[in-house]
Amino acid sequence: MQALLSFDQAPPLAAPLRFFLTAPLFAILAALLLLWSGPDLFASRWTGAALALTHLITVGFMLQVMLGAMLQILPVVAGANIARPQLLATLVNAAVATGALLLASGFLSYQPLLFELAAVLIGGGVALFIVGAGHALYGVPSTNATIRGLKLSLLGLTVTICLGVLLAVAIDGSLALPLMQLTSIHLGWGFVGWSVVLLAAVAFVVVPMFQMTPAYPEWFAGRFSWTLLTLLVLWSVADSAGWQCLSPWLAAAAVLAIAAFAALTLQLQSRSKRARFDATQHYWRLAMLSTLAACALWLAASSWPSLGERSEWPLLCGVLALFGGFMSVMIGMLYKIVPFLVWSHLQNLGRGRVFPPNMNKVIAGHQLNRQMQAHFVALALLLAAVLWPEWFTYPAGLALLAANAWLLRNLLAAITFYRQQRLTIEETLTHVSAAPAEAR
Amino acid sequence: MHEISELMTKDHRSCDDFLAVVEKAVTDQNWQLAQAEFPRFRDALLNHFEAEESILFPLFEKRTGMYQGPTQVMRGEHVQMRQLLAAAEAALAEREADDYNGNAETLLIMMQQHNVKEENILYPMCDQQLADQLDALLPELQKQLAG
Ligand code: HEM
Ligand SMILES: [Fe+2]
């Protein structure tokens, strides 16, 4: 009730934007890393450069976008208000960004100290966010699938990070832990327990709402995240206990559930009542197709040993999931969230007397489409680079660089637009209020 | 126990549907159809606002004593949506597709985030607080929604 009373108090514009602007910087770093390390990066998923790349995207890009979006979304879907959003955003953003940089340098140099510092900063930053958001969410009943999904994905994130921190501390061999197993459990929780659960929680609301599709069936939306997390827990237990007869089946069940989610989303999208497909919708469709492809590849590699032995398939799965799936949805969502936020803040500044231009004017439509095409090309080239590294690594690096520099450019254009319009609005308002005085 | 939620949520969805019909016509450059369909959307949305502002919200405010709370925020958003609606209608009259699409898209997002707040928080509270008045309230709401 207390939270509800103030549920118009959206956080200031700078709070979420700080996270959104940091994200493309990390994708740019990932592209530079690719260009710097060259084809060697794709030798296996275990090269330092591949691990650094993975975390530049997961912790550097995805985590930043998620935190910024949560900050904005919690007041809307849950009526939950975060105290001191500006301060919380600054601290969390700085800690997670620095941590991601240290983690990537850790993977490139294998200096234990870098891993430890990264663990403290990322762990601390996310813990701070969870305390801040959790405080706001406390007492808000989980009345719908979104709130439940968001809470569950925070849980998945926490487990992922705890395992990551454990790995980071154990990496110098001091703790005699089964590192390979821990890594695969960390990976499972990162991709499934955090990322897919988050993706689904967002999809259940956003797809029907903005793409005007029928709703996800109740039985599916209500059970999906729980089922996935239960499978994940069972799989983690089976895997660490070494029950080799059980754990592949549990993993396969989880992958099938994810594939069902992606297929269902595509099917709903094909029934969209909207006449025009914009960049966001194309991004969503690409993401679901990539997710489906990643699941199919995973199942194929686990069923046919001759395929499963090759070192390319995990990298292909990783590229499909990260660049094709999660990043695509996130960029697509940024293209709605950022223009709407800018419009809505300008609207409030105008106090009902001056009206800002509509949200499609915030970032020019053709810039969105070109950036999207660059992203699609980057994805195709990255997939090709996994298979033929000598040929495609450099083109892929360049395309990734271009796509994300463009993304940054588009987000900065939104901020420039905001600043210009704010000036116009303030000028008009002073004229309006001065006018009656002059008339007298 | 969810009668108010159900009724009002269903009406949100039908407003969405009317908007989609106009969008389709604009995309097909069938301006005549678009201009013929727009009033159906406009009236549905305005009737919905009216039902809330003149029937549902006052009852809720009286019952809970919360005059400056969520209902006030919702009224403020209705004002913004009325402005977007007017801008979209003007663009339609001028046959400016880009302008229409921009205003309609902004309106759509505004509507959706507004609806989420109502459907998740405000309507369930109304269901709870106004359970004893349903017999009189529901027909009145239905009548206003129908216009
Ligand atoms: C928050 C989301 C995170 C995700 C999605 C994620 C994802 C991954 C993935 C996919 C791998 C396996 C790479 C492979 O098998 O090719 C991995 C390994 C690893 N991650 Fe993370 N990670 C996250 C956070 C962290 C954090 C916060 C840390 C440490 C502070 C961390 C430390 C590690 C370490 C040490 C490894 C193992 C590397 C090795 O054994 O050589 N991760 N992570
Ligand atoms: Fe309303």
Q: Which ligand is nearest to the CA of A164?
A: 1
The answer to whether position A428 is within a domain reads: no
Q: How far apart are CA A44 and CA A50, in angstroms?
A: 8
CA-closest candidate to residue A72, choices A287, A333, A265 = A333
| CA–centroid distance, residue B22 to ligand 2 (Å) | 21
- Using left for φ > 0, alpha for ψ between -120 and 50, and beta otherwise, residue A67 falls in alpha
Please report whether residue A232 resides in a domain: no
Number of structural domains (chain A) is 1
Q: Which residues of A touch B98 (CB under 8 A)?
A: 360
Q: What is the mean pLDDT of chain B?
A: 93
Write the CA distances from B94 to A119, B97, B100, integer angstroms.
Answer: 58, 9, 9
State residue B119 phi and psi, 5-degree precision: -70, -35
Is residue A160 lining ligand 1, measured as CB closer than 6 Å? yes
Assigned domain for A349 exists: yes
pLDDT of A140 reads 65
Contact B28 A275 (CB under 8 A): yes
**Are A76 and B117 a contacting pair at CB < 8 A?**
yes
**CB of A361 less than 8 A from some CB of B:** yes
Mutate to test the interface with B, among A359, A361, A363 (most CBs of B within 10 A): A359
A121 Cβ contact list (under 8 Å, min separation 6): A95, A96, A98, A99, A102
d(CA B131, CA A144) in angstroms, rounded, equals: 21
| DSSP states of A411-434 | HHHHHHHHHHHHHHHHHHHHHHHH
Q: Is the dihedral of CA A109, A114, A119, A122 positive or negative?
A: negative
Interface of B with A in 23-52 (CB under 8 A): 23-24, 26-28
- SS3 letters across A56-85: HHHHHHHHHHHHHHHHHHHHHHHCCCCCCH
Give pLDDT tens digits for B49-74.
999 999 999 999 999 998 888 899 89
CATH architecture of B3-145: Up-down Bundle (1.20)
**Portion 84-123 of A in contact with B at CB < 8 A:** none
Interval between CA B11 and ligand 2 midpoint (Å): 11
Q: Where are the beta strands (DSSP E) in A128-229?
A: none
DSSP string, A254-308: HHHHHHHHHHHHHHHHTT---S---HHHHHHHHHHHHHHHHHHHHHHHHH-HHHH
- Sort out which chain B residues have CB atoms less than 8 A from A144's CB and list them: 120
In a domain, A382, yes or no: yes
**pLDDT at residue A439, rounded to an integer:** 47
Sequence-distant (6+) residues with CB within 8 A of B37 are B18, B21, B22, B25
Nearest ligand by distance to the CA of A103: 1
Q: Give the end-to-end CA distance of chain B in Å, rounded to a whole number.
A: 25
Q: What is the pLDDT along chain A (440 residues), one digit of tens a residue?
A: 333 333 445 678 999 999 999 999 999 999 999 999 999 999 888 899 999 999 999 999 999 999 999 888 877 766 667 778 889 999 999 999 999 999 999 999 988 899 999 999 999 999 999 888 777 776 666 666 677 888 889 899 999 999 999 998 887 777 777 888 899 999 999 999 999 999 999 999 889 988 889 989 989 998 999 999 999 999 999 998 888 889 999 999 999 999 999 999 999 999 998 888 899 999 999 999 999 999 999 999 999 988 888 889 999 999 999 999 999 999 999 999 999 999 999 998 988 888 999 999 999 999 999 999 999 999 999 999 999 999 999 999 999 999 999 999 999 999 999 999 999 999 998 887 766 554 44
Complex prediction ipTM: 0.88
What one-character-per-residue DSSP string does A322-370 give?
IIIIIHHHHHHHHHHHHHHHHHHHHHHHTTTTS-PPPGGGTS-HHHHHH
Q: Which residue has the CA at smallest separation from atom 41 of ligand 1?
A: A46
Count of CB atoms situated within 10 Å of the CB of B66 = 17
Closest CA to A149 of A199, A76, A84, A208: A199
**Which of the residues B80, B103, B110, B116 would you substitute to probe the A interface, choosing the one with the greatest number of A C-beta atoms within 10 Å?**
B116
Specify the pLDDT at position B62.
93
Question: What is the per-residue pLDDT for A178?
Answer: 83
What is the extent of the structural domain holding A402? 272-423
- B73–A8: do the CB atoms touch at under 8 Å? yes
Neighbours of B38 (CB within 10 A): 23
From A45, A58, A64, A169, the mutation candidate for ligand 1 (largest count of ligand atoms within 8 A of CB) is A58
Residue A9's pLDDT is what?
53
The pLDDT of residue A100:
98
Distance of alpha carbon A184 from alpha carbon A314, whole angstroms: 12
Residue A191, both tokens: 């991709």
Whether the predicted pLDDT of B98 surpasses 50: yes
The answer to whether A10 and A72 have CB atoms below 8 angstroms apart is yes
Which of A45, A47, A51 to probe ligand 1 with, by most ligand atoms within 8 A of CB?
A51
Is residue B57 within 8 Å of B108, Cβ to Cβ?
no
Query: CA angle at residue A360 from A354 to A361, to 5 degrees?
Result: 60
In a domain, A221, yes or no: no
Distance of CA A293 to the CA centre of its chain: 19
Calpha distance A376→A381 (Å, rounded): 9
Q: Tell me, what's the pLDDT at A145? A: 67
Helix (H, G, I), strand (E, B) or coil at B48: helix
Tell me how many residue pairs between chain A and chain B have CB atoms under 8 A apart: 78
Using a CB-CB cut-off of 8 Å, the residues of chain B touching A141 are: none
